[in-house]
Amino acid sequence: MATPRCFIIRHGETEWSLNGRHTGITDIPLTANGEKRVKATGKALVGDDRLIAPKRIAHVYVSPRKRAQKKTLELLGLGCKERLPWQETRKPESEEPIRTEATVEVTEAVREWDYGDYEGLTSQQIRELRKQKGEVPWDIWKDGCPGGESPEDVCRRLDALIAEIRAKYHSKCFGESADKNAKGRHCHCGAWPHFEGFCYALDWKTSHRDCSHIGSRRCWDAELRTPQH
């Protein structure tokens, strides 16, 4: 019996991620090194005999940020049959062979955390700013971001997406569509804990922390790296 798989891929390196600046709604492009590492990841992980088999992907959710769309998802080389939402036309097959019939959906549900007043600041700068205001040390999971999103805001949009995925794809994994059940999410790494909880909520009876037993994998930072659980 096939089990559902959820691949969560973060965009590649940007100038801001390289120097530790919090990047939410600002559309920062990938660095040359970031693009190089994404391409390497695509070659290593995407293919019929690889971890991510394009022909088995059912749907891809992607952030509205261009660094997630044009400079990461495209570079992975999934080979979508239809044109990508942000493209006027699909690349000719001579440049990009068709490898999957999966649809790609741009959604705010998997976008980066809106850092509000902390956008573009490093953690050290945020700590200093809060100290000047007499505020407690910053914990994003408790305090959220003034002018941006709270943890509850992020939870609401991710929980709604998880409910959608369960309704659309979970039952199919045990029925006629069991051979095509992979879902891809191209989002900020902060989304992972929510999907991890989603994995635990499925019907497999296990208490293991490693979600690999139900076919869930992390592909952090769109680069070759051993997942940490």
Feature table: binding site: 23-24, 67
> Could you tell me which residues are annotated as the binding site for substrate?
23-24, 67
Confirm whether 135 is a catalytic residue: no
Answer yes or no: are the C-beta atoms of 78 and 99 closer than 8 Å. Answer: yes
Q: Are strands 5-9 and 182-186 parallel, antiparallel or unpaired?
A: parallel
Is 208 annotated in the active site? no
Write out the two tokens for 221: 């930072």
Instruction: Please count the CA atoms within 13 angstroms of the CA of 110 that sit on its side-chain side.
Output: 29
Which member of 13, 112, 119, 223 is catalytic?
112
Q: For residue 120, give the 3-state DSSP assignment.
A: coil
The residue annotated as part of the active site, out of 11, 22, 186, 188, is 11
Alpha-carbon distance 194 to 163, whole Å?
A: 11
Q: What is the DSSP letter of 71?
A: I
Which residues are catalytic, by number?
Answer: 11, 112
